[in-house]
Each structure stands twice: as C-alpha cells, then as structure tokens.
Structure 1
C-alpha cells in the first residue's frame, strides 16, 4: 500500500465510536483496516482519517464534502453511504427523502468534484444491510442503491467493495454469529466482515 493518506467517509457505520476515541478512528471496520496495515505493511503505514458521522445520507456528505474530503487531499478515498437514505424511508417517511435518482446524481457530482480537485483513488463501498433478513423491506429497497454504486464505479473506473453482497452471502449461509447489534449497526463480527471485504477488494 503506497497511499500515504486514506480517508473513510460515511454514516454511523463508519463513525462508530470515533468521537469517543482519542485517535478519532473508533471501534469499527476502519480500525480493523488500520490495524491490518500496522501488522502487514508497517513499513508503509498510512495515515488513516475517519470522517463518518451518524445519521448521514448522501445529501449530508455533499454539504460537508469540501471540508471533510477535499481539504484533506487524500491519496485514497473510501465512501460508504446509502443505508440512511433507505432507512429514513422506513422510520421517518414524512421527512424529505433521498430516492435513487437523487442519490445517483449527488454521488456522481461528488466523484467528479473529487477527481477534479484531488489525485485520490476512489473506492465505493456498497451499502450493507437493513435487518439480518435478506427479504426485509429495507434490504429490498437497498437494491437500487447498490446497483447505482456498481454502475457508477464501472462508468468511472473505480474500485467497488461488495459489502452488501458479502453480507447477503453470509446471511444465506450457515452463519454462526449475528453481524449487527440492531439490524444496521455492526457488532465486531460485522465489522470484521466489512474489513475483510474491503481489504480483499482494495489491496
């Protein structure tokens, strides 16, 4: 890994514990990836920046993109967003929603801004799951967002981390442990699966 500065941005799944952590990384998949580098490539240990904020949708990322991404000039940018864009449709249907067309439009704008104003390699993580039931309403509603992530990545030549597919594969197998604490937020097993999937896709 030659990238000297890796920035992770997303929602609470990325944030998890970073505001209580002196290192501002948290107790999450970002820490597990950081620790992987420390163990496997200590001679090329990158700076890890976590810019996850709980509750964020892609509209929130757009509002803070300049300060939380462009200003840092990362060598590698990892984006994980989409769960709240769907979850808000389920738990707060009266609020203004982010449907797939807007999600795709904003995502493209953020990628193009990043490519124009930084030299970062961009990694797109699929949204994970909403409930540990592959047939849940949340997981069905997530599918168009997952498809958009893969379509955009293909069009822009970006790396995809197939986290949604990894979680669905796990949930349809003989799973010994749950992945989340509440159907959305990761426990240690879920974070381990996210980190493993990221490492296999990116490194």
Structure 2
C-alpha cells in the first residue's frame, strides 16, 4: 500500500530517540539530526506547503506515547502521523529487567491509532528495528520480532501503509558488510543509517 502524502497541513513524526535524533525539546520547530530532517529537506522541494513536525522523545516506549498523545499529537491536528516505537519496549527487558509484554505493547499502540484515526489523521506505521552488533543482541530478536508482528497486524487492521524498516536496515547492513556502518549499538543510527531510513520512507511515499 503506497503512502499518500497530503499537499498541505501537518506531517507529524512520533517515536523514540531514533525519531528524535537529538532534537531540542525546548524548540518545537527543531527536527533533530536524523531521518526526519532528511525527509523534511526533500519535501521542502516537492511539498512546500506541508509542515513537518518532530515529536520523538528519547527512551519512549509505546505506553509513553499513550500518555503524551493528547498534547504531542492530537493537539497538533496532524494530517498524517508517522509512528515508529517498540525497540525500547524490548531493550528495557534486557538492560533493566523491565519487560513489556507483546499484548501490553499492542494495546498501547492500538490506543494511539484509534485516537488518531478518530480525529481523522492518516497513519503510516514504521517497524521498530534491531541491527545486532553484539552476539548477545541476537537474543533480543525473539522479543522484538513479536512487536514487529504487532505493527504489521495493526497496519492491516487500520489500512495503513507499512514501512518494513527492520528488513530494509538489516539488508543495508549486510550490503555494507558491517553493521557498524549503520549503527554503533544496534539501535541508534549513524548518518548512513538515517540516510537509508529516510530514503525508504520517501520511496514509500513515491518521492525521490
């Protein structure tokens, strides 16, 4: 399913630190230094009347998006919301022994989708991803793969475009011959990684 970009209005990006990409939380216009700003720079030439906004927050899990969805999404009345969240739901299981079940993750994710759809916002769902750079991170896959399955199922349920970011980024890592070309820790992207993700998002939208 292709992503149909609005010609005017607000395109909102939501998620965790991968989306935030070190944006200044005190500056509502700051787009960070990652894939969002790259997309915005391209759309400035193709969709000059479309306003791009970034509300990614480092460390967020799906439940955190639920808590801030009114102020950081619905209040902005976005025409299109691009959402990528889930890797922290997996990561906290392994670094803090603070797991989030796949069922809880799905309930949180569905909650924000319902609220956005009821307001009339179009949706695009971006898979959470992991590019293992340490042997022990392969054990994370069992947990994250459940969340990717949730996102894919919700994309069907809400008739939303899906960006299969996990496969795209892992393929790019193999193409480069070294995962560190895309990420230093398996999660946070290098400039090259953000380039790949931005290009894939724009391709989904039919923008080159």
SS in 2 for 1:8: strand
Deviates more, 1:57-66 or 1:122-131: 122-131
SS in 2 for 1:173: helix
Deviations 1:143-200 (A, max 9, x none): 1111110111011100111111101222333536610132211110110111011111
- 2:43 alignment counterpart: 37
Asked if 1 retains the 8 angstrom alpha-carbon contact of 2:172 and 2:196, the reply is no
How far the C-alpha of 1:21 sits from its partner, in A, is: 8.8
Q: Is 1:182 matched up with 2:185?
A: yes
CA-based RMSD of the aligned residues comes to 2.0
Deviations 1:16-73 (A, max 9, x none): 121179641110000000011123x15x341111101100000100000000010000
- 1:27 alignment counterpart: 33
- Matches for 1:76-87 after TM superposition, within 5 Å: 76-87=80-91
How far the C-alpha of 1:133 sits from its partner, in A, is: 6.4
- Matches for 1:13-24 after TM superposition, within 5 Å: 13-19=18-24, 23-24=29-30
Distance 1:21 1:157 in 2: 34
Unaligned regions of 5+ residues in structure 2, if any?
none
Q: TM-score, normalised by structure 2?
A: 0.87
- 2:154 alignment counterpart: 152
**Structure 1 residues 113 and 179: alpha-carbon distance in aligned structure 2, compared to 1, 3 A threshold:** same
Distance 2:194 2:112 in 1: 26
- 1:136 alignment counterpart: 138
Q: TM-score, normalised by structure 1?
A: 0.90
Asked if 2 retains the 8 angstrom alpha-carbon contact of 1:130 and 1:138, the reply is no
Equivalenced residue count is 198
Deviates more, 1:1-10 or 1:76-85: 1-10
- 1:10 alignment counterpart: 15
Distance 2:109 2:95 in 1: 23
Distance 2:26 2:187 in 1: 21
Distance 1:136 1:170 in 2: 17
Asked if 1 retains the 8 angstrom alpha-carbon contact of 2:133 and 2:184, the reply is no
Structure 1 stretches (4+) deviating beyond 4 angstroms? none
Asked if 1 retains the 8 angstrom alpha-carbon contact of 2:131 and 2:170, the reply is no
How far the C-alpha of 1:137 sits from its partner, in A, is: 1.6
Asked if 2 retains the 8 angstrom alpha-carbon contact of 1:161 and 1:202, the reply is no
SS in 2 for 1:90: helix
Q: Is 1:198 matched up with 2:201?
A: yes
- 2:73 alignment counterpart: 69
Distance 1:171 1:37 in 2: 26
